[in-house]
Amino acid sequence: MRKSKLLGTFLGLSIIFASVLTGCASSSEQAVSSTGTDAKAPKEGGTLIVARKADATTLDPHFITNNPSANYILGKVYEGLVSRDKNMEYQPALATEWKQLDDKTWEFKLRQGVTFHDGTPFNAEAVKKTFDRIFQKDLNSTKAAVFAMVKEVKATDEFTVQFILDYPYAPLLASLVGNDGSIMSPKAIEQYGKEMSKHPVGTGPFAFESWTPGQEMTLVKNGNYWGNKAKVDKIVYKVVPEDTTRIAMVEAGEAHIADNLPSADLDRVQSSSSMNLVRANGLGVEWIGFNTKKKPFDDVRVRQAIAHAIEKDAIIQGVYNSVGSSAVSALSPKVIGYNPNLKDYDYDVSKAKALLAEAGFANGFKTSIITDDRKERINLAEVIQSQLKGIGIDLEIKVMEYGAYLQAAAKGEHEMEIGGWGNATGDGDSVQYSVFHSKSFGDAGNHTFYSNPEVDKLIEAARQEQDPAKRNEIYAKVQEIELNDAPMVPIRTIDYVAVTTKEVQGFWVDPIGFLMLNEVTIQ
C-alpha cells in the first residue's frame, strides 16, 4: 500500500495538538482538546448543541464552495476515500489502500461491508456514480474544474476503482480528502437529482435528519457505522449570527460548543469558570480582494497603491487581538508550495499616493467594499476604510449576510471584498487553481476575476509536476507574479477559535477550521 506522507512531511512538525486546555489558555497554543484536567469519566449519549455563526449555503458536496458549509457534513455525514489524522497525514477511509500504477493511473481498494445511510451498499459503482455526476453537463457542478484532469473513474471489480487521468496530477489525494471527494449514495443521486442539497446521504458516523435553513440542522448517530461510532446520539446545529449571543449560550449551558469566537472575546472566555477555549493554527488566509475587471482596479498601479497603504501589523493587533499572523501570500506558511522568500509591500503612504497619481487618481476616488457580517471582518473593513482615507480613497462599506455576500462576490457585483480561502487540502493547488486560475471565475473561487496566461500555465504545470522540489519552485515563481500583480492584498493567516462548556470532552478543531465532533462526549 502506498499511503502518501507528503502532506504530513510538510505539516506534521508544525501542527501541535495539546490534549488539555482549562480556563486560562495561552494564546500561543495551536489546537487543543476541550478535556479538562479534572474531568469526570466521559459518558456516551445525549444531544450535542453547536451554535454556529453561519448557515450552510448548500449541503450538496458538488456545489459547496466554502468551508463553513462543508463543516456541517464533511466527516459527519459524508466521507471520502481518504482521510487525515491530527498530523494531517493521509489515512484510509472508504479506501483501505491505494497506489499509482503509472503517472496517470491511481488504483484504490475499497472498504467492504459499508452501507450508506439509506441502506445502499458502498462499492466501486457508488464511487464511479459519484464522480460521473460531477461531470454531468446539465448539473454544472463547480467540481468539474477541480477534477478536470480526471478522464475516467473505472470500476475494475466490486471493490476496486481506478482514476485514469489525462495528465499527471500530484495533489490527487489532497483533492479526494476534502469535501470535493465526498462519496454519495447512488440511490440518493437517482432519487433526488439536483435536490441532493436537501437530502444528503453518505456513509459517515452521523446521518442527516433535518435542516431548517437559517435556523437549525439535525444529525443523528449512525448505529451501523463501519468505524468508531459517534459517542453522542444527536448533533443539533443552531444558526446564531450574533457573536455575543453564541458565547452567552455556551456560558449559560444552552449550547455546548460555539464556533467563530471573535478574538476580542478571548479574555472573557479565558477568565471564565464555565467555558474552555479551543483554537488551531489554520491553513487559510484572509485578504482584501479587488474586482480586476472593474475600473479603477483594472490598473495594477491602483492595486499596488492600496497594498502600500495598508498597515497590516496594526490590523493584526487591533482587529484580531494578535490571533493569526501577517500574510504576504494567499498560501499559508503551512501549505505545500508556500514561498518563504516573498518580500511584502512596505507600508508607505507617499509611494501609494505617487502610484495613484501615475494612474490618474491624484485626488483619489470613491469605491466600495463588501464583507460578510462577521464582527472581525466588519472591524477590518472599518480600519481599511480609515487607512485608505489617508491616500484619498473614499471607501463605502457594504455588510451582507454570509450567503448573499458569497453570491455577490461570485457574480462580480463588488468593487472590493474582504475574502479568504480556508484551504481544505493543505496543498497549494487548492488555492492556486481555485483563486487565481482564469477557469475559476465566480463560484469556483476566483472572485477577483484575475487572469494572467503565465500564471495559468504555471498553475497547470505545478499540478502535473511529480517532483516536490520542482513543484515548490513553480509555486515560488507564481506567487512572485501574483504579489506583483496584486489582485488581492493578503492580510493574515487564519487561526480558528471556538469555545465549549466545561462538560464537553474530546472536541478539537483541525487546521482547516473543521469542528471535530465524532469523539465528543458530554459529562
Q: What is the pLDDT of residues 347-381, one digit of tens each?
A: 999 999 999 999 999 999 999 999 999 889 999 99
Q: What is the pLDDT of residues 266-313, one digit of tens each?
A: 888 988 989 999 988 889 999 999 999 999 999 999 999 999 999 999
R_g over Cα of the chain: 23
CB-based contacts of 145, cutoff 8 Å, min separation 6: 433, 439, 440, 444
Tell me the three cell numbers of residue 350: 507617499
Pairing of strands 504-505, 82-84: unpaired
Per DSSP (E only), the strands in 202-323 are 206-212, 216-221, 234-239, 257-258, 275-290
CB 137 within 8 A of CB 223: no
CB-based contacts of 468, cutoff 8 Å, min separation 6: 6, 336
Number of folded domains that form the chain: 1
Helix (H, G, I), strand (E, B) or coil at 188: helix
Residue at 91 is within a domain: no
DSSP label of 28: T
pTM for this one? 0.79
Tell whether the model's pLDDT for residue 468 goes beyond 70.
yes
- The arithmetic mean of pLDDT across residues 32-52, rounded, is 71
Residue 273, exposed/middle/buried by CB under 10 A (0-12, 13-18, 19+)? Answer: exposed
Question: For the ranges 21-25, 113-117, 361-365, 384-388, which has the lowest average pLDDT?
Answer: 21-25
Residue 132, exposed/middle/buried by CB under 10 A (0-12, 13-18, 19+)? Answer: middle
Tell whether the model's pLDDT for residue 39 goes beyond 80.
no
CB 150 within 8 A of CB 163: yes
Question: What's phi and psi for 450, nearest 5 deg?
Answer: -75, 135
Residue at 181 is within a domain: no
Higher-pLDDT residue of 8, 500: 500
- The arithmetic mean of pLDDT across residues 482-495, rounded, is 96
DSSP label of 334: T
Q: What is the pLDDT of residues 218-263, one digit of tens each?
A: 999 999 999 999 999 999 999 999 999 999 999 999 999 999 888 8
- The arithmetic mean of pLDDT across residues 424-440, rounded, is 92
Closest CA relative to residue 521, chosen from 496, 493, 502, 499: 502
Distance CA 169, CA 247 (A): 43
Tell me the three cell numbers of residue 494: 487564519
- Residue 356 is part of which domain span? 281-495
Angle between helices 300-309 and 349-358 (to 10 degrees): 160
Output the pLDDT for position 399. Answer: 97
Give the H/E segment covering residue 349.
Answer: helix 349-358
Tell me the three cell numbers of residue 268: 472573557
Tell me the three cell numbers of residue 36: 479538562
**Residue 475's pLDDT band (cuts 50, 70, 90):** very high
Residue at 333 is within a domain: yes
Residue at 38 is within a domain: no
Distances (CA, A) of 196 to 61, 188, 189: 9, 7, 7
Distances (CA, A) of 90 to 202, 234, 235, 279, 425: 20, 28, 26, 22, 11
DSSP label of 443: G
Q: Mark out the alpha helices in 36-140 (DSSP H runs).
A: 67-73, 124-134
Tell me the three cell numbers of residue 311: 498597515
**Between the CA atoms of 89, 95, 96 and 98, what dihedral angle is there, to the nearest 10 degrees?**
-70
Q: Domain containing 451 — which CATH number?
A: 3.10.105.10
Q: What is the pLDDT of residues 308-353, one digit of tens each?
A: 999 999 999 999 988 889 999 999 998 999 999 999 999 999 999 9
Tell me the three cell numbers of residue 259: 464556533
- What is the chain's length? 523
Residue at 478 is within a domain: yes
Tell whether the model's pLDDT for residue 128 goes beyond 60.
yes
Output the average pLDDT for the chain.
90
**Residue 41's pLDDT band (cuts 50, 70, 90):** low
Q: What is the percentage of the chain residues whose pLDDT exceeds 70?
A: 92
Residue at 401 is within a domain: yes
Tell me the three cell numbers of residue 372: 460578510
Output the pLDDT for position 423. Answer: 84
Residue at 317 is within a domain: yes
Pairing of strands 160-165, 105-110: antiparallel
Per DSSP (E only), the strands in 166-316 are 206-212, 216-221, 234-239, 257-258, 275-290
CB 268 within 8 A of CB 78: no
CB 187 within 8 A of CB 433: no
Residue at 376 is within a domain: yes
Tell whether the model's pLDDT for residue 164 goes beyond 60.
yes
**Residue 65's pLDDT band (cuts 50, 70, 90):** confident
Distance CA 87, CA 14 (A): 9
Pairing of strands 257-258, 47-52: parallel
Tell whether the model's pLDDT for residue 420 goes beyond 60.
yes
Question: For the ranges 153-157, 265-269, 310-314, 476-480, which has the lowest average pLDDT?
Answer: 265-269
